[in-house]
Every structure is written in structure tokens, then in C-alpha cells.
């Protein structure tokens, strides 16, 4: 099976250079490396063109967000599979592409393969050797997952209005409802350096909560929708409370963000069956 790689980057040229250097050492090599430079102003474009002229470069003059960038690359990829990475993540096994091909050939119903990460965000993972067992899951991380292109293009895919956060569980739900599988494979590992620059935990929480609410509006069937929506608001408030009073007081911000886009989201409403929704909910996160 042919395999493309896709990366979205914004103002992190040093991290990107390290990742591209690792990808050059993969054996076999990917069919193509798709790179979307999303509103960067740090010389990423010039540096990439100089060092890696074979990279398929897309440039967003204005920041569109990682989700829109990945959706665009999924629609243009020439490979049967696409390895999704962040600009600061890469596979640790040099023969990983051959392993991806074997995994997907043996599982014709597999839409997404996701892998454990050794990440600086969670230092305890850096020396970890046991990442558990292979299993079906209800989400994945776009910083280290392999997607089947045919499955992606048969579904709605990543919702571009999300901008950042929660596109993975929303897409996994689409897959489960269409009888595709999302599966965790511990035999391949991703090194994620997780650069903290420009990341705001509170902002990401608000985006995650808003997008989870929007996903529920689009996918959850009636008459269960009101109860599930209330449950989403409650669990997000509990998480905010666990981070402190300031986080909890800031919860109305994402409520306003969610309400501002509700009409557009409702126009995209495509509920799945309750059986499929329950089946997805019952799966482990990863």
C-alpha cells in the first residue's frame, strides 16, 4: 500500500526540521510528504524549500487552523494511507511504513490505526516500555496516527469549523457508525517532543468543550440529544472545577463560542443510530 505523510505547522521551523530529517531516514520512504504551512511568519517556507524541495508544500496565507489544514491534505493525498504527524512528532521505528501497510492489508475494515506516544507532555512515558494491548478505541491523536484515505473520503471527515481540538473523536464516531474500525496498536511508537510554545491550556479546553458540544449536536440522535448535551456541559464544568476557580468562572466563554456557531452546525446535522452512538461511547479513549 502506498503511504503519504501529512504535517501541519505554524511558526515552529526548528521542530519541523527535526521531524523532516527523521522522515528522510525511513525505510521504505513515503510516497510523498504533504506539508501545510498555516499562516507562519518565521521563515518556515523558505527553509523547507531550500532543504526539502521534494516536499509537497501548501501555504495558508491566513491561519486556518490545524483541522482545515489536515482536511485539505487528506483530500489531496495520493497514497492509500496517510500518516498524520505534528511538526514535533515522528515514528521511532524506521520500518514503520512497511508495518502500517501490513496492518491495513490484514484489516480491510480498519479506518484509523493509532499508536502510543513518548511525549514530553507526560515525562513518565519517555522511558515506558509497556504500552498495553491492541484494542478498538473511540479516538486517536493526529500527532501519530495512520488513516485509510478511502474511508476518510467516504465520510464527512474533519469538520473544518472546529479549527483545533476534537476532530479525532468526531471522526472516530463517523467511522464506528459506518462500520469502520479505529484501533490502537502498541507495537509502533511515536516520539512527540510536544513544544509548549503558543499553547494555552485554557484556550484548548474551551475549544475542546465547544467542539465536543458541536459534535454531539451533529451526531447524537433524538430523543437522547438533550440529555447527552447536558452531560457534556456538566463533565466539562467538572473538569474546569478540578483546575481551579478561575477555570470554572471562565466556562461561560465556551458556551458563548458554541452558541455563536450552532445554526451552521445544525445545518450539518447528520445523526447516527443510537446503537452506533452507544457502541462508540463504550469504547476506551485509547
Alpha-carbon distance 166 to 158, whole Å?
9
Mean pLDDT, all residues of the chain:
94
Contact 41, 136 (CB under 8 A): no
End-to-end CA distance of the chain: 25
Nearest to 121 by CA among 190, 64, 69: 190
Q: What is the mean pLDDT of residues 131-140?
A: 96
- C-alpha radius of gyration, the chain, whole number: 19
Nearest to 55 by CA among 96, 11, 24, 80: 24
Cβ-proximal residues to 20 (8 Å cutoff; 6+ apart), any chain: 33, 48, 51, 52, 55
Q: Residue 87 is placed in which grid cell? A: 511538526
Question: Which domains does the chain possess?
Answer: 3-192 (3.90.550.10), 201-271 (no CATH)
**Residue 12 pLDDT:** 85
pLDDT tens digits along 81-121: 999 999 999 999 999 999 999 999 999 999 999 999 999 88
pLDDT over 70 at 143, yes or no? yes
C-alpha grid cell, residue 281: 461511547
Confidence of residue 196 (pLDDT cuts 50, 70, 90): low
CA 41 to chain centre: 24
CA 129 distance to own-chain centroid: 24
pLDDT of amino acid 33:
97
Q: What is the pLDDT of residue 192?
A: 94
| DSSP character string of 61-122 | SS---HHHHHHHHHHH--SSEEEEEETTEEES-TTHHHHHHHHHHH-TTEEEEE--EEETTS
Amino acid at each position: 500500500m502506498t503511504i503519504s505523510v501529512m504535517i501541519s505547522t505554524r511558526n515552529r521551523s526548528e521542530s519541523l526540521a527535526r521531524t523532516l530529517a527523521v522522515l528522510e531516514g525511513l525505510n521504505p520512504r513515503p510516497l510523498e510528504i504533504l506539508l501545510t504551512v498555516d499562516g507562519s511568519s518565521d521563515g518556515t517556507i523558505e527553509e523547507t524549500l531550500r532543504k526539502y524541495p521534494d516536499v509537497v508544500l501548501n501555504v495558508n496565507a491566513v491561519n486556518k487552523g490545524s483541522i482545515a489544514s489536515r482536511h485539505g491534505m487528506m483530500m489531496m493525498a495520493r497514497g492509500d494511507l496517510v500518516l498524520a504527524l505534528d511538526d514535533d512528532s515522528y515514528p521511532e521505528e524506521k520500518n514503520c511504513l512497511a508495518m502500517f501497510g501490513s496492518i491495513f492489508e490484514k484489516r480491510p475494515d480498519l479506518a484509523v490505526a493509532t499508536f502510543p506516544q513518548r511525549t514530553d507532555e507526560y515525562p513518565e512515558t519517555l522511558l515506558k516500555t509497556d504500552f498495553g494491548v491492541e484494542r478498538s478505541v473511540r479516538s486517536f491523536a493526529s500527532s501519530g496516527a495512520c488513516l485509510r484515505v478511502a474511508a476518510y473520503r467516504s465520510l464527512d471527515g474533519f469538520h473544518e469549523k472546529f479549527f483545533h481540538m476534537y476532530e479525532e473523536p468526531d471522526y472516530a464516531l463517523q467511522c464506528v457508525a459506518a462500520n469502520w474500525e479505529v484501533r490502537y496498536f502498541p507495537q509502533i511508537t511515536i516520539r512527540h517532543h510536544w513544544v509548549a510554545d503558543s499553547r494555552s491550556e485554557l484556550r484548548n479546553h474551551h475549544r475542546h468543550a465547544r467542539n465536543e458540544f458541536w459534535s454531539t449536536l451533529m451526531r447524537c440522535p433524538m430523543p437522547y440529544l438533550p440529555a447527552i448535551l447536558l452531560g457534556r456541559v456538566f463533565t466539562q464544568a467538572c473538569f474546569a472545577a478540578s483546575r481551579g476557580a478561575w477555570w470554572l468562572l471562565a466556562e461561560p466563554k465556551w458556551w458563548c463560542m458554541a452558541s455563536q456557531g450552532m445554526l451552521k452546525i445544525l445545518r450539518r446535522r447528520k445523526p447516527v443510530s443510537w446503537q452506533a452512538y452507544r457502541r462508540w461511547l463504550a469504547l476506551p479513549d485509547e
